[in-house]
Structure 1
């Protein structure tokens, strides 16, 4: 992790929050008792910060200095309000396109997906507050700066985001090798959200019943899956092909 993206110690973290720095994740020592840390938590929760209670060994890995039981990961960007952004996008005179990332954990994949999303006109990327790759300096680098051009929304649960998108008239399509239908058989002209699962497990099982459709890429070789960022590119360019 880039040293420039982390701060540690109770007062530096508190001052960063009060100075409106964008905090992506907080790592707090399990069982620690501190009024100042309680204040940090209360100030962070309304801003959608991911708060993780971890063993002290995890904090020692993040910072070899005297962290005082708390380490914060600074985000280089601000995050958009999910519901407001969806409504604003739907009000425009174009068919919207959203990406929903279900626990993408590799920073390089995350950055590559953002870069492709910007190149293909994605209106917003939706991620979960906990469990995914951090928005860090490495993300910025891999995205080639595209992260500053594509709105990113953080939600408590991907499931709730999918419910909201469906209720707003958006077709939610899962990109999965388990699908019997090819992506070339899916109509992407309507308002669409494409769900991409994690590198190891794919789309979370509990989300499958919420999807309007599932689609797969044709695989002609012996390896039965693609890197998630590569698959993302194939899906997004099929959307462009259909909409042009």
Structure 2
């Protein structure tokens, strides 16, 4: 499967959820009502599926088919359970390297990051269920297929993932300009998780507050920031350099 498969209609989406399909996101027409909608909404809440209420025009742009007010994207990949993944990596004897993406929203940036993560030996990528970039056809293409080789975990809250990693002996390093430390001042040799923020606003303040360390890239140009996928690559390759 090369990209998302779209399914249409309330009943079809309900059946997909009940069948255990990995739903990446559901788009629902604003104002939709009725018993079937109530059943769908209950399943969305129960399974913590990302969803958005949108105008009918948005749905009509997504497909020309009779969508009946609901369109769902089935992810081309299955997501991993974070607890199990962390345990497996810790027990493997490897020095863990995880990547957390805090509200990253661009599918192509996500794909580029996945590609670099695969090349640098990242053991898993952790994203938030709501508000994060979906795994789309653009993600798959930009990752050059790496999306099928790197475990991706979806969690309810990035902060909870950080607390779990820290309790498992993993140091959390936040990539932010709000520090004097550069990536050359911190150690990536022990078990580490790197946090990258959103394209427009960076890492949220609540996440920065609980990180073990913060680090930035030295900048010499007039432009004060890099594309997040480029910045992520610099962090991951510094981790790789220190480890070899």
| Corresponding position of 2:21 | 21
Range with bigger deviation, 117-126 or 85-94: 85-94
Instruction: Kindly provide the CA deviation profile for residues 111-142 of structure 1, in whole angstroms up to 9, marking residues without a partner as x.
Output: 00000001111000000111121111111111
Q: Give the superposition deviation at 1:47.
A: 4.3
Write out per-residue CA displacement over residues 123-172 of structure 1, whole angstroms, 9 at most, x where no aligned residue: 00000111121111111111000000100000111111111111111111
- Counterpart position of 1:92: 92
Q: How does 1:70-219 map to 2 (within 5 A)?
A: 70-219=70-219
Contact 1:8-1:63 within 8 A present in 2 as well:
no
Per-residue deviation at 1:44? 4.5
CA deviation digits over 1:60-103, x for unaligned, max 9?
Answer: 33334332221101100000011111122111211101000011
Q: Measure how far apart 1:39 and its partner are.
A: 3.0
Query: Alignment length, in residue pairs?
Result: 243
CA distance in 2 between partners of 1:21 and 1:168 (Å):
30
What SS does the corresponding residue of 1:202 show, helix, strand or coil?
coil
Distance 2:46 2:243 in 1: 38
The equivalences for 1:51-62 within 5 A come to 51-62=51-62
Q: Distance in 2 between matches of 1:33 and 1:163?
A: 39
- Report whether the alignment pairs 1:241 with 2:234: no
Is the contact between residue 199 and residue 228 of structure 1 (CA under 8 Å) also seen in structure 2? yes
Distance 1:109 1:186 in 2: 25
- Looking at structure 2, the residues matched to 160 and 87 of structure 1 have their Cα atoms a distance apart, in angstroms, of 16
Separation (CA, whole Å) in 1 of partners of 2:195 and 2:4: 31
Q: Which shifted more, 156-165 or 49-58?
A: 49-58
Residue 175 (structure 1) shift: 0.7
In 1, Cα distance between equivalents of 2:28 and 2:55: 8
How far apart are the structure 2 equivalents of 1:177 and 1:4?
35
**Cα deviation per residue 1:188-215 (whole Å; 9 max; x = unaligned)?**
1111000000111011122111111110
CA contact (8 A) 2:3 2:140 kept: no
For 2:149 and 2:186, locate their aligned partners in 1 and report how far apart those are by CA, in whole Å: 28
Q: 1:15 Cα deviation (Å)? A: 3.4
**Which structure 2 residue ranges, 5 or more long, are not aligned?**
none
Could you say what secondary structure the match of 1:173 adopts? strand
C-alpha RMSD of the superposition: 1.9
The answer as to whether partners of 1:48 and 1:154 remain within 8 angstroms in 2 is: no
Deviation, 1:23, is 1.0
Change (3 A) 1:113 1:171: same
5+ long unaligned stretches in structure 1: none
Q: Secondary structure at the match of 1:125?
A: strand
User: How many Å separate the matches in 1 of 2:25 and 2:100?
Assistant: 19
Which range moves more in the overlay, 197-206 or 82-91? 82-91
